[in-house]
Amino acid sequence: MKYDAIIVGAGAGGGVTAALLAESGAKVLLIERGKHHTFADEKTDHLRNHRLSQYGQNTGPGEGNPRVFVTPDGVEHIVQPYESGYNNNAMAVGGGTPVYGGQAWRFLPDDFRMASRYGVPKGSSLADWPITYAELAPYYEKVEYEVGVSGDSALAAQVWPRANPYTMPPVAKTARGTYLQHAANALGWHTFTPPLLINSVPYNQRPACTGCTLCVGFACHVNAKNGTHNTMIPRALATGNCTLLTETMVLHINMHDARTAAGVTYESADGQRHTVDAGLVIVSSNAIETPRLLFNSATSDHPHGLGNHSGHLGRHLQGHMYPRAIGLAPEPIWDGQGPGVSICTTQFSHGNPDIIGGGMLADEFITLPIIFWKRFMPPEVPRWGQAAKEFMRHAYPRFIDITGPIQDIPNPESRVTIDASVRDRYGLPVARLSGQVHPESVRTATFMYERAKEWLQAAGVERIWGKPPSSWLSAGQHQAGTCRMGDDPATSVTNRHGQIHAINNLYVADGSLHVTNGGFNPVLTIMANSYRVAEGIVRRGK
């Protein structure tokens, strides 16, 4: 049969798009390479989850799906999904959303006009979005309402222009959050509880968060975490218009002629290959796999990949640097309250002297002991012996971790290409990730690291340590930018509607579209922008 639309990838972007198209009456084929993923599947393993995955993880992809990661010394490394160079985002129905922490940030108005506000630093590809905050704001609100966001409406309204309050009150503040609140008050910093895609009260026929200790990196045991897997994708399926294929890999997009996509060829879990046609193809596979599929679908009309007429496909890859400072409260402060993140500041998102943009700072999600040991111990503390044991006993109940994403300054050399020799289990060239962050991003990260330390100092902590920013490419769960939108086909991959410039019926709807990625967790923007793209498709009757 011929579908009206094929959507490649059932994550944050694809899930939203599927719901909008199916509800408009279109016949939709939604194809996901991962599986349905539930709390029952994952056995609550502290060593194999999406927060700590060095021995494996609780979502896809599995074996036979390597990537190539090029380190700053130019050496190529073949990396597996559970290794950090892979820059993985979960592959499952819902994409990263079943296992994320669910920070539900709108980007700020100036995040959409970074070049206009700050100019374009040398070596960077900083640019304005083709749309404004005001154009995206109604879609943010739809997503906040339809997927479900809890938040501190009055205090957040001082940061973003917003029409209506959040539909749920903020999640519980931790003892750590209250402690940091006093320090922020003393500094004169505006703080609030971060908005989360987590039910603070029952919502959408699902219960409230229980405040458990397994949150980010795990599926929610009471289904109080809101992603596309339990909102938009079920909505799409409920129409009867959407067919969801899981464990199915799209191999390439087929073209009818130079300007028209015909459909896709995929391989299902049983190893059979199928070719299906559709009036429209939408790629929502994330900022690494979306360009990879477009590269792997090259034709004689598009010899360098679909959408690569301008040479921008795969470039401007970014995924947030995370400066991090850790301190020890004078007294135990651990209260075991999940989700854990309960205070943030946007005081330094913009307007910092001699800094391009800035970032957000927040306390950390509830941190499992082994993750503290692996990631948060000061470098000089021994890793074994009596001193190590005593340090864990002293520090774990007292530690405070302040971190947050900075506004990356994109550069064209941070990029996804396809590797010339390494193939995946389907015989397709794998994604090759190369480049480094722009020096301005390092400066911003250093500046934000100092602000994190300042917050801890004001709180009166015993000692402070941290992770100095590294210039390595970072493009994991927050990956973005590789199919940037723009009004000028010479400098972008898609137009403002998410349509590939030279191809009438081929769209992108995921973080790849982000021209810049804000100084915030990007998922709410991925959902809102996909909502806008999908609504545009429906409105134009495509």
Partner 1 sequence: MFDATQYATLRAVVDCMIPADEAPGGLMAGVDRYLIHFLQHDGVGFVSQYQSALTALQHEAELRHAASFAQLSQAQATNLLHALERNETQAVWRTSPSAFVATMAEHCAEGFYADPRQGGNAHGVSWISIGFEERR
The token duo for 103 is: 């920070």
By the rule CB under 8 A, 384 interacts with partner 1? yes
Distance CA 386, CA 396 (A): 15
Residue type, 329: A
For residue 62, state whether it binds partner 1 (rule: CB under 8 A). Answer: no
Q: Are the C-beta atoms of 316 and 324 separated by less than 8 Å?
A: no
Cβ 320 to partner 1 shortest distance, Å: 26
396 binds partner 1 (CB under 8 A): yes
Which CB atom, from 159 or from 214, has the smaller least distance to partner 1? Answer: 214
The least CB distance from residue 172 to partner 1, in Å, is 13
Tokens in use for 193?
Answer: 């509880």
Nearest distance, CB of residue 56 and partner 1, angstroms = 7
What proportions of the chain, in percent to the nearest 5, are helix, strand and coil? Answer: 25, 20, 55
| 254 lines the binding site for partner 1 (CB under 8 A) | no
206 is a site residue for partner 1 (CB under 8 A): no
| Helix, coil or strand: residue 414 | coil
Task: Choose between 49 and 499: whose C-beta lies nearer to partner 1.
Answer: 49
- Of residues 1, 40, 55, 163, which one binds partner 1 by CB under 8 A? 55
Of the candidates 45, 509, 34, 498, the one whose C-alpha atom is nearest the C-alpha of residue 229 is 34
Q: For partner 1, which is the closer residue by CB, 185 or 210?
A: 210
**Binds partner 1 (CB under 8 A): choice among 77, 117, 206, 221:** 221
Q: Where are the alpha helices (DSSP H) in 129-248?
A: 133-143, 153-156, 175-187, 232-238
- When asked if residue 128 is in the footprint of partner 1 (CB under 8 A), the reply is no
Output the six-digit token pair for 370.
Answer: 């082994």
> What is the distance between the terminal CA atoms of the chain, rounded to a whole angstrom?
18
Strand order in 429-434's β-sheet? 76-79, 67-70, 429-434, 415-423
Using CB under 8 A, pick the residue from 187, 208, 212, 422 that binds partner 1: 212
- Distance in angstroms (rounded) separating the CA atoms of residues 183 and 193: 15
Site residues for partner 1, 34-53, by CB under 8 A, read 43-47
Smallest distance from the beta carbon of 502 to partner 1, in angstroms?
A: 47
Which stretch, 142-150, 210-218, 348-356, 428-436, contacts partner 1 (CB under 8 A)? 210-218
Which residue shows structure tokens 């899981």?
246
Q: How many residues bind partner 1, per CB under 8 A?
A: 33
Closest approach of Cβ 374 to partner 1, in Å? 7
Taking the complex as a whole, how short is the minimal distance between the CB of residue 338 and partner 1, in angstroms? 8
Q: Does 392 bind partner 1 (CB under 8 A)?
A: yes
Residue 485's SS3 state is strand
Element (H, E) at 262: strand 260-267
Q: Annotate each residue in 319-348 with x if it binds partner 1 (CB under 8 A) or - if it does not, as one string.
A: -------------x-x-x-x----------
**C-alpha angle 9/254/532, rounded to 5°?**
45
Q: Kindly identify the residues of this chain, within the stretch 444-463, that bind partner 1 according to CB under 8 A.
A: none
Is residue 267 a contact partner of residue 251, using CB atoms and an 8 Å limit? yes
Least distance (Å) between residue 372 CB and partner 1: 8
Contacts to partner 1 by CB under 8 A: 43-47, 55-56, 210-214, 221, 332, 334, 336, 338, 368-370, 372-374, 383-386, 388-389, 392-393, 396-397
